[in-house]
């Protein structure tokens, strides 16, 4: 049994086709078939049921696939570790950034790496939390920085360097709402388009608890996008109100709310447990400590001109 045979097994299991796998791996189909057949003969049990042009894993094949992936991943880690030791400061760091962390970290991280660590290959991926976690588990990424409120807890994920950052409603400095000399109620904000990245259920519940049933993101967010910098630009150039971490747009005006905005984002570094950590992740940890310290003060509050909104249950 060889690692090459295990890689062939994994490829055919993913494509369901010997011909597509052979093409992807730059092999002839007979050569790939012989490799998998030799593995089946050594194990003494078929790994695939051939159904026409499609190949499906047998029950034993599904069990074997999980073990094969683990063995291949361990072999890849050994190879990568050896390369890092040979190359010293060189190597590769692959980081996934959620929407909020990406707006804060991506440009400073890339600038820092190109100036101070030009020998390190730096790769940054963007996307939803679920997509980034999938890439982490597939060993396509070394670490993630995401909002932990949107992360599903799992025993294979390790969390580190957690920073809690304040969220706010924001708009351009000459926005009509920014000129009002009073605390704003939620219905004031609702008169304008509202932009936000996808929000977790926890944040949605907190908004509803604070401002009432109409504050559920499904009801009041009119512009939703994973790319937070694009939403910031929209808020800078229109009457759109942005709901986001305050630190992503210090040039925008923060709107004083009645009741006050209490939502936060909890940004953390996520890695896989029992996996060798890329040495260059220490650089990312240091940048997180510098750039994610939420020192932005809340706006001064004007005297209240009315009662607070009552609390309402989360809508069905």
**Mean of pLDDT values over 171-175:** 96
Instruction: Give tens-digit pLDDT for 199-217.
Output: 888 889 999 999 999 999 9
> What pLDDT shows up at residue 231?
95
CATH architecture classification, 1-87: Orthogonal Bundle (1.10)
Predicted local distance difference test score (pLDDT) of residue 89: 57
Residues of the chain above pLDDT 70, percent = 90
CB-based contact 3:69 (threshold 8 Å): no
Strand 253-254 relative to strand 157-171, pairing? antiparallel
The model's pTM? 0.61
Position 240 scores a pLDDT of 97
Pick the CATH number of 165-263 from 3.40.140.10, 3.40.190.10, 3.40.462.20, 3.10.20.30: 3.40.190.10
Q: Where in the chain is the domain with CATH 3.40.190.10?
A: 165-263
Per-residue pLDDT band at 303 (split at 50, 70, 90): very low
Note the pLDDT of residue 297: 46
Taking the C-alpha atoms of residue 136 and residue 130, their distance in angstroms, rounded to an integer, is: 10
- The contacts found for 59-62 with CB under 8 angstroms, 24 or more apart, are 61/9, 61/13
pLDDT digits (tens, 9 = 90+) for 48-58: 888 877 888 88
Q: Among 63-72, 247-256, 289-298, 299-308, where is mean pLDDT lowest?
A: 299-308
User: Quick one: which H or E segment has residue 165?
Assistant: strand 157-171
Tokens of 50: 């051939």
What average pLDDT score do residues 61-73 get?
A: 89
Q: Give the model's pLDDT for residue 294.
A: 55
CA angle at residue 161 from 160 to 166, to 5 degrees?
A: 125
In sequence order, the 6+-apart residues with CB closer than 8 A to the CB of 224 are 195, 196, 197, 198, 217
What is the location of CATH 1.10.10.10 in the chain? 1-87
* Mean pLDDT, the chain, whole residue set: 85
Residue 56, SS3 per DSSP: strand
Better pLDDT: 91 or 68? 68
User: Quick one: average pLDDT of 240-268?
Assistant: 92
């Amino acid at each position: 049994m060889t690692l090459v045979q295990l890689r062939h097994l994994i490829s055919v299991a993913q494509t369901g086709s010997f011909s597509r796998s052979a093409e992807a791996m730059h092999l002839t189909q007979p050569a790939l078939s012989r490799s998998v057949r030799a593995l089946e003969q050594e194990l003494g049990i078929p790994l695939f049921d051939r159904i026409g042009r499609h190949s499906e894993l047998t029950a034993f094949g599904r069990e074997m696939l999980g073990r094969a992936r683990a063995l291949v991943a361990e072999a890849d880690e050994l190879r990568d570790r050896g390369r890092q030791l040979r190359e010293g400061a060189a190597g590769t760091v692959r980081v996934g950034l959620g929407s909020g962390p990406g707006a804060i970290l991506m440009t400073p991280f890339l600038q820092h790496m190109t100036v101070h660590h030009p020998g390190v290959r730096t790769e940054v991926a963007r996307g939803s939390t679920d997509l980034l976690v999938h890439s982490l588990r597939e060993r396509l990424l070394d670490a993630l920085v995401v909002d932990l409120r949107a992360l599903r807890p799992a025993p294979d994920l390790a969390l580190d360097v957690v920073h809690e950052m304040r969220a706010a409603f924001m708009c351009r400095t000459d926005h009509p709402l920014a000129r009002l000399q009073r605390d704003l109620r939620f219905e004031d904000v609702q008169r304008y388009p509202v932009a936000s990245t996808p929000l977790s259920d926890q944040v949605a519940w907190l908004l509803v608890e604070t401002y009432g049933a109409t504050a559920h993101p499904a009801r009041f967010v009119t512009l939703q996008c994973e790319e937070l910098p694009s939403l910031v630009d929209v808020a800078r150039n229109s009457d759109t109100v942005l709901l986001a971490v305050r630190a992503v747009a210090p040039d925008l005006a923060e709107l004083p709310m009645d009741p006050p905005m209490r939502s936060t984002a909890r940004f953390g570094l996520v890695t896989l447990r029992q996996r060798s950590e890329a040495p260059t992740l220490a650089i990312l940890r240091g940048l997180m400590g510098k750039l994610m310290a939420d020192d932005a003060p809340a706006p001064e509050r004007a005297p209240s001109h009315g009662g607070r909104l009552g609390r309402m249950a989360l809508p069905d």
